[in-house]
Structure 1
Amino acid sequence: MDPQLRTLLDRNHGVLCRRDAAEVVPAWAIDVARREGRVRRILPGVYADTTLPGTDNATGTVDAADTGDPGRFPAGLGGLDPARARRAALGYADGRGAFSHLTALHLWGLWQPAAGEPVHLTVPATVRLSSHSGLVVHHVRGFSLDGPDTLTRHGVPVTWLERALVDSWPLLPAGERRGPVIQAVAGRHSTPQRVGAALAGAPKLPGRAQLRELLGKLAAGCHSPLEIWGHDRVFTGAGMPPLRRQARVSDGRRTCYLDVYAEAQRVAFELDGASVHGAPGQREVDLRRDAWLATLGIQVVRFSHRRLVHDTAEVRREILAVLAARR
């Protein structure tokens, strides 16, 4: 392989654009490397180093769209690891698109893509880029790379978090849709109001009503699937007084947020999820927190995930009894 071509591939982590290579090597250098099986064409004008791990060197059919690139090649991004697939997609976009949907959600740290999951790019409606195997290009009217639609994250252009959450909603498996939205709000990376504003710009989004309902519960203070369960089945309904979710309590030196708080009776109901409160050392943390709240005159009542889900009626009775005793 041409030494300069080898240097370009190494510098770009095994991905190369023909337009960049043309600035430093003869046009035939890529064709020779391809015939020798050293690189393969993965997108129009974009090539991958076949000698690196995580690159499938299978071949496909001729595509006349890549002028000057004879031979056979595999279609799309199949066989590339996710990081190189994203790098290849950016090379193909050539500054005309931003990562969006599930790809943006991954870059925001809220989604782990499964093997073979396609890369998503959003581009202005007038940009002539096509989807390929492993790459989904979304053409959106009014979308601008220079406006409020995108920002740079990890050195690459991505859509804003709220837009990524809304765009990804119908693409996620039904049982996993709520997780990224809950994580974003609970981690204070966004708010239900900001996600709601993004949702307002997608009136035809599949599953829109379900997302709007979730945002309502998050706005009420629910910050976990268990709290949403409690909101729906335990802490609302006949006989239940008004209760605050994620109520802030502070003594000037220390601050905490209570899952459910009956302010008039000064009772905090804490919902202990198995994944967190079952962790080693968490019991000691909970006991110290409860003791501190007791110094403020707040009684803490804890319910386990198992009791909340499987003994709902009895939990409701206990809540009402505790509140009656504290009046």
Structure 2
Amino acid sequence: MHRSLQQFADANDGVVLRRAAVRVVDRVVVDRAAGCGQIVRVCPKTFVDSALADDRRALLRAVARYGGESGALSHTSALEVWRLPAPTTGPIHLTIGPGHFLRGAAGVRVHRRMAPLDDVVVRDGLRVVRVERAVVDSWPLLERDLGRAAAIVAVNRRMTTPDRLMAALDRAPRIGGRRGLARLVELLQAGCRSQLELWGYQRVFAGAGFEGLRWQAPVRVGGHTVYLDAFDPRTGVDFELDGTEFHAGLADRERDLRRDTALQAEGLTVVRFTHARLRRDPDGVRREALAVMNARADGWSRRWSYAE
């Protein structure tokens, strides 16, 4: 590649916008580099250094710069920028506001909104839609487990809230699969914070006897705030749902035992159910949970306090 064009590409993180490049490099140099594959076309008049043709972050940068101030990375591409669960292959998504006309390209999908883009921020130097909008727009494009994971992780990392997700959903009334996403957000509002808790809430700890459960209830223990998966304030029973992600090793088990001991010292009863048991025997888990709660109903002394 011509030295001056290489310097321009390096100064711009490998991205070559033709309109900017021809201000400092002869247009013949730019066109020749494109023609012989030294720079690779990503969008109309937007290229990357051929050495970065398979670099996903470089491609995201190129599409974001193609959109300029009139657009923002969106859908699953925005999830990638926010480092949330999302596929890292497939098309890159760009949303543009009203009054702007940009064409897509192979591997780039351009979405047009009728309303102004008022939910755009800059992250890692890229214009991107806010987390909650990315989750909502991506919902119809993802397998359900991955779509749920994006919403759950975003809330768990405190990047957004269930209420903000619901507000974003309200602004997208025609989104595909809207009812399923609305139900997921309602479960997040109820306190569920994992795929396993969603399963427990819907399939196991539901119905008569479980109406008073609080999910992810914050409780002060030993000067610290701990979050109880499914807590019954009436009986002081805490049901912990042990998923495979955070309860897989000896260190995890030791951490859980220390936590359980601290809770029991406060008078709570901690009952753990494994992922396998919840999935394999939901009826048996339900019966055992009700039996524990009934046994504790008369003897529970209320000594704990919710965290502020």
TM-score computed with the length of structure 2 as normaliser? 0.91
Partner of 1:180: 150
Partners of 1:231 and 1:134 in 2: how far apart?
A: 39
- Segments of structure 2 that go 5 or more residues without pairing to the other structure are 298-308
Match of residue 137, structure 1, among 110, 115, 121: 110
**251 and 92 in structure 1: CA distance in 2 versus 1, 3 angstrom threshold:** closer
Partners of 2:220 and 2:88 in 1: how far apart?
A: 42
Match of residue 235, structure 1, among 174, 182, 205: 205
Q: CA RMSD, aligned part only?
A: 1.7
**192 and 94 in structure 1: CA distance in 2 versus 1, 3 angstrom threshold:** closer
Match of residue 157, structure 1, among 110, 113, 127: 127
Partner of 1:77: none
Give the secondary-structure state (helix, strand or coil) at the position aligned to 1:111: coil
Match of residue 109, structure 1, among 83, 86, 90: 83
1:81 aligns with 2:55: yes
**252 and 133 in structure 1: CA distance in 2 versus 1, 3 angstrom threshold:** same
Match of residue 122, structure 1, among 82, 91, 95: 95
Higher share of residues assigned helix: 2
Shift of residue 42, structure 1, vs aligned partner: 3.5
Partners of 2:9 and 2:93 in 1: how far apart?
A: 24
Task: State the one-letter code of the partner of 1:319.
Answer: A
Match of residue 194, structure 1, among 164, 174, 194: 164
Partner of 1:38: 38
Shift of residue 252, structure 1, vs aligned partner: 6.1
Task: State the one-letter code of the partner of 2:65.
Answer: G
1:279 aligns with 2:246: no
Task: State the one-letter code of the partner of 1:176.
Answer: L
Deviations 1:203-234 (A, max 9, x none): 11110001111111111111111111111121
**161 and 269 in structure 1: CA distance in 2 versus 1, 3 angstrom threshold:** same
Match of residue 97, structure 1, among 63, 68, 71: 71
Partner of 2:6: 6
TM-score computed with the length of structure 1 as normaliser? 0.86
Shift of residue 36, structure 1, vs aligned partner: 4.5
Partner of 1:17: 17
1:215 aligns with 2:185: yes
Q: Tell me which stretches of 4 or more aligned residues in structure 1 moved more than 4 Å.
A: none
Q: Is the 8 A contact 2:44 2:103 kept in 1?
A: no
How is 1:279-298 mapped onto 2 (pairs within 5 angstroms)?
279-298=249-268
Task: State the one-letter code of the partner of 1:106.
Answer: E
Shift of residue 186, structure 1, vs aligned partner: 2.3
Partners of 2:16 and 2:273 in 1: how far apart?
A: 56
Shift of residue 285, structure 1, vs aligned partner: 0.5
Shift of residue 257, structure 1, vs aligned partner: 0.6
**3 and 203 in structure 1: CA distance in 2 versus 1, 3 angstrom threshold:** same
Shift of residue 254, structure 1, vs aligned partner: 1.3
How is 1:243-282 mapped onto 2 (pairs within 5 angstroms)?
243-251=213-221, 253-282=223-252
Task: State the one-letter code of the partner of 1:250.
Answer: R
1:320 aligns with 2:290: yes
Task: State the one-letter code of the partner of 1:210.
Answer: G
Q: Work out the percentage of aligned pairs sharing the same amino acid.
A: 43
Give the secondary-structure state (helix, strand or coil) at the position aligned to 2:176: coil
Shift of residue 267, structure 1, vs aligned partner: 1.1
Deviations 1:269-304 (A, max 9, x none): 111112211123011101110111111111111111
Q: Is the 8 A contact 2:2 2:29 kept in 1?
A: yes
Q: Is the 8 A contact 2:237 2:269 kept in 1?
A: yes
How is 1:45-84 mapped onto 2 (pairs within 5 angstroms)?
45-50=45-50, 52=51, 54-55=52-53, 80-84=54-58
**Which of structures 1 and 2 has the larger relative contact order (alpha carbons within 8 angstroms, sep 6+)?**
2
- Segments of structure 1 that go 5 or more residues without pairing to the other structure are 56-79
Shift of residue 15, structure 1, vs aligned partner: 2.3
Partners of 1:324 and 1:12 in 2: how far apart?
A: 66
Shift of residue 41, structure 1, vs aligned partner: 3.4
Alignment size in residue pairs: 297
Give the secondary-structure state (helix, strand or coil) at the position aligned to 1:120: strand
